[in-house]
């Protein structure tokens, strides 16, 4: 445990993991009543990566691989971590947390470990919490990993959700830095729990809202009111980005990358249009990976990081929204 001296926060490394197995729109069209054209037009997704249970791939494996990758990038070992935070809605067990098992897999004991459930906001929530903890001076280094294996939580015969999701992990290693101005310079964590029936995963029939007719999908699979979530997301994306710019006094020109949750290309493009974000500053990978929930923003961050598109001294904004409903922003001086 570090001395309690306030400090800044540096991203020491990033990592990610996706399974090799691809699920294309053509594969889906062979399973449910849909088409490549419909999916591309309405979502921008062409294919997603999915776990291959025949190869023994699990959500835990994916999250662990993502965090290992970030540790390698930072040139650190698991034993260098004081804490592991894992964000997911598809953790293997309710107890222990996946974070404990991920920490064990990278040999991080006795580092603390806990899970965050904030759906697609999970990675951004976790980065905000981790930054705040390092900033107090109590923790020197925290491993953050957002990971969802959404294909384990969608009914493959339900075309309204099966087309959207893929499996991925994104991770970052945060360490203390002497520069107090470095790290997360503005953050928001928000939720409106009254809206939860728009997006949820029931465990048992009594979890269903009283006025809801069950679609017949099995328990443990995602229920989503796509139109409601779409309306919410279009408004929130714009609001969250504009609020972050106002709060920091920064303009679009001051931001090197807007790292947005990959939910639907139309939702991202609507924010780009309304705020006037240039395409080269808004990374898009939804065409190749779909919506990977808590994995999404971390996966984008790592791909940008490895491509050399996020450099020391630059400012980036991460934004996400998801089940809860939740929404979150995180502005970083890298
Ligand atoms: N293939 C073909 N047709 C489909 C379909 C599919 N996979 N899914 C729905 N349809 C049909 C509907 O039955 C409907 O038919 P109808 O007009 O005869 O009733 C029609 O397409 C339009 O459905 P609608 O739900 O209005 O489509 P949409 O334009 O809203 O697109 C989503 C659906 C899910 C792509 C869109 O609502 C969305 O992206 N919402 C946000 C979801 C999200 O981001 N979730 C994650 C949050 S982190």
Q: What is the CA radius of gyration of the chain?
A: 19
pLDDT of residue 218: 80
- Residue 173, SS3 per DSSP: strand
Model confidence band, residue 217 (pLDDT cutoffs 50, 70, 90):
confident
233 lines ligand 1 (CB under 6 A): yes
* Choice from 195, 227, 240, 269 to test ligand 1 binding pocket (greatest atom count within 8 A of CB): 227
Closest atom, ligand 1, to C-alpha of 34: 1
Say yes or no to pLDDT of 212 above 90.
Answer: no
Average pLDDT over the chain reads 95
Average pLDDT over residues 194-202: 95
Q: Does residue 219 carry a pLDDT above 90?
A: no
Indicate whether residue 241 lines ligand 1 (CB < 6 A). no
Q: Per the structure block, which two tokens stand in for 159?
A: 């075309």
With a 6 Å cutoff on the Cβ, whether 160 touches ligand 1 is yes
Give buried/exposed letters for 282-294 (b at 16+ CB in 10 A, else e).
bbebbebbbbbbb
Residue 196 pLDDT exceeds 60: yes
pLDDT at 181 > cutoff 60: yes
Mean pLDDT in residue range 39-58: 97
Give the whole-angstrom CA distance, residue 99 versus residue 114.
5
Q: Which among 63, 106, 61 is positioned nearest to 81, based on CA atoms?
A: 106
User: Is the C-alpha dihedral spanning 295, 312, 240, 142 positive or negative?
Assistant: positive
Q: How far is CA 96 from the centre of its chain?
A: 21
Reported as a single tens digit per residue, the pLDDT across 239-282 is 999 999 999 999 999 999 999 999 999 999 998 999 999 999 99
- In degrees rounded to 5, what are phi and psi of residue 252? -55, -35
**Tokens matching residue 258:** 């807007």
* Ligand 1 pocket member 227 (CB < 6 A): yes
Residue 2 has pLDDT above 60, yes or no: no
Mean pLDDT of 93-109: 97
Please give the pLDDT value at position 1. Answer: 54
Domains of the chain, CATH where assigned: 1-334 (3.40.47.10)
Contact 59/91 with Cβ under 8 angstroms? yes
- Check the CA dihedral 104-108-112-113 and report its sign: negative
**In this model, does residue 110 exceed pLDDT 90?**
yes
């Amino acid at each position: 445990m570090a001395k309690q001296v306030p400090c800044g926060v540096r991203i020491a490394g990033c990592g990610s993991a996706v399974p090799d197995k691809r699920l294309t729109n053509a594969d889906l069209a062979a399973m449910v009543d849909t088409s490549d054209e419909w999916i591309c037009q309405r979502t921008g997704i062409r294919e997603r990566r999915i776990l291959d249970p025949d190869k023994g791939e699990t959500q835990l494996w994916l999250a662990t691989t993502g965090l290992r990758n970030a540790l390698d990038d930072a040139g650190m070992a698991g034993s260098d971590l004081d804490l592991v935070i894992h964000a997911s809605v598809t953790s293997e067990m309710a107890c222990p947390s996946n974070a404990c098992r991920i920490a064990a897999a990278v040999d991080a004991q006795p580092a603390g470990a806990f899970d965050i459930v904030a759906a697609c906001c999970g990675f951004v929530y976790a980065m905000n919490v981790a930054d705040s903890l390092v900033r107090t001076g109590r923790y020197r280094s925290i491993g953050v990993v957002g990971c969802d294996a959404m294909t384990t939580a969608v009914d493959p015969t339900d075309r309204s959700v099966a087309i959207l999701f893929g499996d991925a992990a994104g991770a970052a290693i945060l360490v203390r830095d002497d520069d107090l101005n470095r790290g997360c310079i503005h953050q928001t964590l928000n939720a409106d729990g009254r809206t939860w029936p728009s997006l949820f995963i029931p465990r048992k029939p009594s979890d269903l809202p009283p006025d809801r007719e069950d679609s017949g999908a099995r328990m443990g699979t995602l229920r989503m009111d796509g139109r409601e979530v779409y309306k919410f997301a279009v408004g929130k994306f714009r609001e969250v980005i504009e609020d972050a710019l106002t709060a920091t006094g920064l303009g679009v020109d001051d931001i090197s990358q807007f790292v947005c949750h990959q939910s639907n290309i139309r939702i991202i493009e609507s924010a780009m249009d309304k705020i006037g974000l240039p395409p080269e500053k808004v990374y898009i990978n939804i065409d190749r990976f779909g919506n990977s929930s808590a994995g999404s923003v971390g996966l984008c961050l790592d791909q940008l990081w490895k491509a050399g598109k996020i450099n020391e001294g630059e400012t980036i904004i991460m934004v996400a929204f998801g089940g809860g409903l939740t929404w979150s922003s995180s502005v970083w001086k890298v």
